[in-house]
A and B are shown apart, each in its own frame.
Chain A
Amino acid sequence: MFAIFKRDLRAFYTTPIGYAFSGVVILIMNLCFYYMNVETSSSDVKRIFYWLLLGLAFLAPILTMRLLSEEKKTKTDQLLYTVPLRITDIVLGKYLAALCVFLISLVGTFMIPVILSMFSVAEYWAILGNYVAIVFAASAFIAIGLFVSSTSENQLVSALVSWAILVGLWLVDTLVANVEIRFIRVIVDWVSVFARYESFTYGLFDLSDILYYFSITAVFLFLTVRMLDKRRYA
């Protein structure tokens, strides 16, 4: 697993993808920070993290599109499946590599809490909550993207389908706010990746929320493993 992790993490930074991703994440965060906090003299970081979450719906697919599609296309998957290596290790290695690129990008935003603590009364727990929340959400997005990547050997198709899913989830969320039927609203709120996120951002660590993101990650990683295993019987 570590071999795959190392290779894929390296590959992110020998191609422009890793730099572009980190750059855009840091750009979003700092722009939002400037307009929403510095300009308005607010110390509330909730909204900038929400914008980052929206940004991630677009960015995560770029991170994951290559991971498995490329292997299939260049037939390097033939190597991975014929060396003594479990499919679970391949999937976990790739998932962790993508997550790691996101974590590296997050480090570039650490100046935000530093500036906040210097010039205002920073709500440390809320900031920490937001960081934890965005990591869990990113983890779920990456797992979804990785699964999509396992279904196609075309990177562009992988990216577009992941976009459709993530942006679709967000749209359902936004639209359902206008639905009058309470029942539907409750259901959608419960399964929604984005609605769950909000409670996190207040600095409330609800175990069910953590479990929820964890489950999405686990389910999609499991589906990816199944998908790759199924290939043998084609």
Chain B
Amino acid sequence: MIEVENLVKHYGDKKAVNDISFTIRDGELVGFLGPNGAGKSTTMNVITGYLSATSGSARINGIDILEDPMEAKRHIGYLPEQPPLYMDMSVNEYLDFICDLKKVDRNRRSHIDDICEQAGITGVYRRMIKNLSKGYKQRVGLAQALIGDPEVLILDEPTVGLDPIQIVEIRNVIRDLGRQRTVILSSHILPEVQTICRRVLVINEGKIIADDSPQNLSKYVEMNHRMQIRVAAPQSKAEQILREIPEMGEVVFEGVMEEDTSDFMICARDNADIRRLLFNGCAKAGCPILMMNPLSASLEDIFIKLTEKSETNEKEA
């Protein structure tokens, strides 16, 4: 269990984390979502005891990280944003060193073997860390966090810099880990936390602006009915057809990408679903739609929405 209360962290004048509170129960897999510089890493660094909070507290399984850091750290496995690897060691030497640090003595050999299996690094076990690819380095970093069987795992952007196949693999590993442990992972990619986590904390400018399930969060995405379309008609004609469709909001011409067609970015009024109307309208005019590409709201859009919401909430309060 992780309990964070009124956490504040200043870097000089800058408030990196501004009064954050949350509780994560045992066995929960929670995603920290936020743009770069939102305070995700800082929050994680405070929870793990790397940094001290300006005020507020963080407790791991009921143990305050400042009052009893030695005991609290025993329960945490931490993968920082940049995996803390020693380039002059081989994978097995490194993991052995981590065992020394975390004082894992019982069944060390089989413990390391299990973890290598889990993180998928058995094949590079004897190689020098400096010669590994970015993806394998990330896995070795993950293996490091798993040593000592900590109940709480804190993973800072575990998929950054990996190729798509590696991302899928690492996500599966994390999902497996989340079955027995409490896991926090941070990301600035919305679909990533959506696929892995059952709860998402959205952080922006050092504050939590949403604490919700990914399903509820994605409502914000669906609310925004924006589409990119390509119509087989010249600009003026196509624009006329589009504007005649009821509930059509914004129509923005985007250029000609294919001969005798025109591309538009359209947006429905009041978030109405206008796909059928759009189809019928164009069909009636004899101008087929060649492409219809729904644009999901970007993370930025969600942030803008959420920040607006939290600001109005504050005003009302």
Residues of A within 8 A of B (CB): 2-4, 6-7, 10-11, 14-15, 74-86, 232-234
Contacts and interface: CB of A to CB of B under 8 A. Distances in A.
Contact of B103 (A4, A78, A84, A232): A84
Interface of B: 11, 45, 48-52, 69-71, 73-74, 76, 78, 80, 82, 84-89, 93, 97-98, 100-103, 144
B144 A79 contact: yes
A3 B101 contact: yes
Contacts of A7: 86, 89, 97, 100
Contacts of B89: 7, 14
Contact of A76 (B45, B69, B86): B86
Given A7-B86, A11-B86, A75-B84, A83 B52 contact: no
Nearest to B102: A83
Nearest to B141: A79
A4 B93 CA distance: 13
A2 B101 CA distance: 9
Contact of A234 (B11, B71, B78): B11
A2 B100 contact: yes
Given A2-B100, A79-B84, A83-B101, A233 B49 contact: no
Nearest to B88: A14
Given A14-B88, A76-B84, A234-B11, 16 more contacts: A7-B97, A10-B93, A74-B84, A76-B86, A78-B80, A79-B80, A79-B101, A82-B48, A82-B50, A82-B76, A83-B73, A84-B71, A84-B73, A85-B73, A232-B51, A232-B52
A124 B87 CA distance: 45
Contacts of A6: 97, 100
Nearest to B69: A84
A84 B52 contact: no
28 contacts: A2-B100, A3-B100, A3-B101, A6-B100, A7-B97, A7-B100, A10-B93, A14-B88, A14-B89, A74-B85, A74-B86, A74-B87, A75-B82, A77-B84, A78-B50, A79-B80, A82-B48, A82-B73, A82-B78, A83-B98, A84-B69, A84-B71, A84-B103, A85-B73, A85-B101, A232-B51, A233-B52, A234-B11
Nearest to B54: A233
Contacts of B50: 78, 81-82, 232
Nearest to B73: A84
B130 to A, nearest CB: 11
A137 B102 CA distance: 34
Contacts of A86: 70
A234 B53 CA distance: 10
Nearest to A15: B88
Contacts of A4: 101
Nearest to A83: B101
Contact of B85 (A76, A77, A83): A76
Q: Please provide the 10 A-B residue pairs with the shortest distance between their CB atoms, ordered closest to farther.
A: A3-B100, A79-B84, A232-B52, A76-B84, A82-B48, A84-B73, A78-B80, A83-B101, A75-B82, A82-B78
Contacts of B97: 3, 6-7
